[in-house]
Amino acid sequence: MTALATVPTAGPRPARTWHAVLRLHRVALIIWAVIFAALSGVLLWAYGPGASAARADWRRKCGSHGCGWSSAISSYHLAHAGVEVTIGAIPYVAAVWAGAVLVGRELESGTAHLSWTQGVSPTRWLATTLAVPAALITAGSTVLVLVHRLLFDAHKVPVTWNWWDDATFTANGPLAVALPLLGLAVGALAGLLLRRALAAGGLAFVATALVATVLSTARTDLWPSVTRTGIALFNPPDTAWQLANGVIVHGKRVANPDYGHCNGTGAAAKQCLADHGITGYYSVYHPASHFWPLQLVETGIVLAVTAAATAAAFRLLRRRTA
């Protein structure tokens, strides 16, 4: 009697976690994609027809006697300013979404635990939960930065647009990519800590705002500034970010003293300077060439905090599911 060879049957194929994340959060991910596409479209409009119309109106209506902004100029200004404000809000949306929906709600409702019983490890669940939105955010934010820089570099309308303004500085470099990833990581950590959607979303928002505010406040000190001193008043270039200026009195800096009557070149002005002990002037500023050092240093700090928050989230998850 011939023994029948038994063929081992394959076990159930592990679930594709990334596919489950896409299916579960497809509406939110589609909304993200639409937002990024809309913002890019607005910037491209401002770069093309918006800039052309605003430039034509500026030449026609603005001169040495002032300028009355037309609808074309206002629309151009509103386009880039509105996009910058929206880009600045993305990290907070990512933080609340990750804390309240991606992680907090999944743990609160028990959906995450159900996934862990279906052949998906907790570590794999968290990695995929974060990787899918992180990939979309990175791709979308990178496109926004590139298009924003295209518009900023080709700025053809003499409307004030300074590289050091907080919203412009963020949108003009990789910081606009790093901050949403920070929000995502902080939101995941908050969701794992509290395991309550509403509370986790609030904590994630506050933590992200705290990091962004601290870095924005300390931005001037992230790279050595330039200091110019001399016996004559020095005005930095129009493209420079001026941090401080004033006079030197008996070897000490005095910021913006009320010595306006000392201005001039006559004998009275010289006597006024001597009476107050003024021996020179100083100016502290960041030239336009400091944009990239400041941008990269701040981006590096944000990515380091993001990595720390992500590592803490995985460590906390492993400890709770051991």
* pLDDT of the residue at 181: 96
Domain around 154: 18-60+70-222+291-320
- The answer on 282 and 175 residing in a single domain is no
| DSSP per position, 64-118 | TTB----HHHHHHHHHHHHHHHHHHHHHHHHHHHIIIIIIHHHHHHTHHHHHHTT
Domain match, 203 and 278 both: no
Examine the domain organization and report whether 279 and 297 are in the same domain: no
Tell whether 269 and 311 lie within a shared domain: no
Q: What is the pLDDT of residue 57?
A: 85
| Beta-bridge partner residues of 249 | 252, 278
User: Are 304 and 186 in the same domain?
Assistant: yes
**This prediction's pTM:** 0.85
User: Are 152 and 247 within one domain?
Assistant: no
Residue-wise DSSP of 19-40: HHHHHHTHHHHHHHHHHHHHHH
Q: Are residues 150 and 279 in the same domain?
A: no
Is 229 among the domain residues?
no
pLDDT digits (tens, 9 = 90+) for 192-244: 999 888 999 999 999 999 999 999 999 999 999 999 887 777 778 888 999 98
**Are both 272 and 299 inside the same structural domain?**
no
Grade residue 163 by pLDDT with cuts at 50, 70 and 90.
very high
Q: What's the token pair of residue 149? A: 């820089």
172 and 275, same domain (yes or no)? no
In a domain, 228, yes or no: no
Indicate if 132 and 96 belong to the same structural domain: yes
Whether residues 134 and 154 share a domain: the answer is yes
Tell whether 2 is covered by a domain: no
Domain membership of residue 232 (yes or no) is no
Residue 6 has pLDDT above 60, yes or no: no
The reply to whether 118 and 192 lie within a common domain is: yes
Structural domain count, the chain: 2
